[in-house]
Amino acid sequence: MVDLKGQYNDIKTTVNASIEEVLENTAYINGPKVHEFQKNLEAYLGVKHVIPCANGTDALQIAMMGLGLKPGDEVITADFTFAATVEVIALLQLTPVLVDVNPDDFNINIDAIKKAITPKTKAIVPVHLFGQCANMDAIMELAKAHNLYVIEDNAQAIGASYKSKNGQIFKAGTMGDVGATSFFPSKNLGCYGDGGAIFTNNDDLAHTIRGIVNHGMYERYHHDVVGVNSRLDSIQAAVLDAKLPKLDVYNKARQDAAKKYDEALKNIDAVVLPFRNQHGHVFHQYTLRIKSGNRDALVKHLNNNGIPCGVYYPIPLHKQKAYADEKRYNETDFIVTNQLVQEVISLPMHTELDDEQIAHITSTIINFLNE
């Protein structure tokens, strides 16, 4: 699905030099590289504060802790996302409220959010799925009207942009009260292990979060709040700082590959191509819908032909044992997600895809679907 070796070969000298700096100065924890990367990412995103941490799951959890959400508070998020989003809500003993998504961009559905808001609702967590922003204009309006926090799960959309209805352009993850991202190796900006970060424009929240990531300390050995130990290590920061200047080039390579996939598959009746809203989609995944009922057979066929593919996600979160809640959920509230889990297939998507690979993948799909 990804070609991390091909990408590394291309940037080896820069990445190795950056890692070597850390090895030479031995500042492995919270060293200068972490600070440099933080500053460079703040400038890239146009956000006041980036707080690096250990992974994207921690980033979400710490964001919720920083906002002071309390057990019993209801947090609305999408039924169609990776489990990390809902996991941290449950871990903090908040009440997850899963809602349906849109059939086109796969992002959280605004009417479903409206229906789910109660006096106990405290936050909305839009997930910018597969590299494309959710409808942030509508989400921010709803949040304002109901006095809710917005926590953007930006694990899959770093570098994506969003054009708001007043024409202003924002980077994904910088529009809500707080954004959380992951630097997992296969992400659009990935390190060589685990990594994550929290973004906010709110000075007080940034201060609170900086303490939470470091055992709740604002002054050495004074633990004012319950915190965690969640650090981006200096070697990972060195990798990320070397790769950040290439993020836009990487995202453009993904967009170009997506266009080529589109071109090859656009006339196939059974295929629904990825929808792009008017904003910048950075194609963390290139995800098709297969309408002919043979998605699983296609997955098998591709695998038999040595072509990797993924089904993100095969089970709606409201049907996962850990998050099922028969009293709260009604199957009729999840018409779209229940259908998507049967139809979606994600094709190989990375910065090193070449025309020959795309032609091979698409012709294998077309031959199968036309059989």
**What does the angle CA 195 – CA 6 – CA 188 come to, to the nearest 5 degrees?**
35
CB of 356 to ligand PLP, least distance (A): 29
Residue nearest to ligand PLP (CB): 56
Classify 134 as helix, strand or coil.
coil
Query: What distance separates the 2 farthest-apart alpha carbons in the chain?
Result: 68
The only residue of 80, 184, 323, 334 in contact with ligand PLP, by rule CB under 6 A: 184
Q: Is 85 in the site for ligand PLP (CB under 6 A)?
A: yes
- Contact characters 238-257, ligand PLP, x per CB under 6 A: --------------------
Name the amino acid, one letter, at 254. R
Q: Is 84 in the site for ligand PLP (CB under 6 A)?
A: yes
Q: Is 182 in the site for ligand PLP (CB under 6 A)?
A: yes
Q: Is 155 in the site for ligand PLP (CB under 6 A)?
A: yes
Give Rg (Cα) of the chain. Answer: 21
Query: What gap in Å lies between CA 365 and CA 249, rounded to an integer?
Result: 28
Classify 294 as helix, strand or coil.
coil
Phi/psi at 15 (5° precision):
-65, -45
Name the amino acid, one letter, at 308. P
Q: Is 56 in the site for ligand PLP (CB under 6 A)?
A: yes
Looking at 152-160, 257-265, 270-278, 301-309, which segment touches ligand PLP (CB under 6 A)?
Answer: 152-160
Residue with Cβ nearer ligand PLP (187 or 301): 187
The only residue of 7, 18, 38, 57 in contact with ligand PLP, by rule CB under 6 A: 57
The only residue of 7, 18, 55, 362 in contact with ligand PLP, by rule CB under 6 A: 55
Name the amino acid, one letter, at 13. T
**Would strands 149-153 and 121-125 be described as parallel, antiparallel, or unpaired?**
parallel
Contact between 161 and 172 under an 8 Å Cβ cutoff? The reply is yes
# chain residues binding ligand PLP, by CB under 6 A: 15
Contacting positions for ligand PLP (CB under 6 A): 55-57, 81-82, 84-85, 127, 153, 155-156, 182, 184, 194, 196
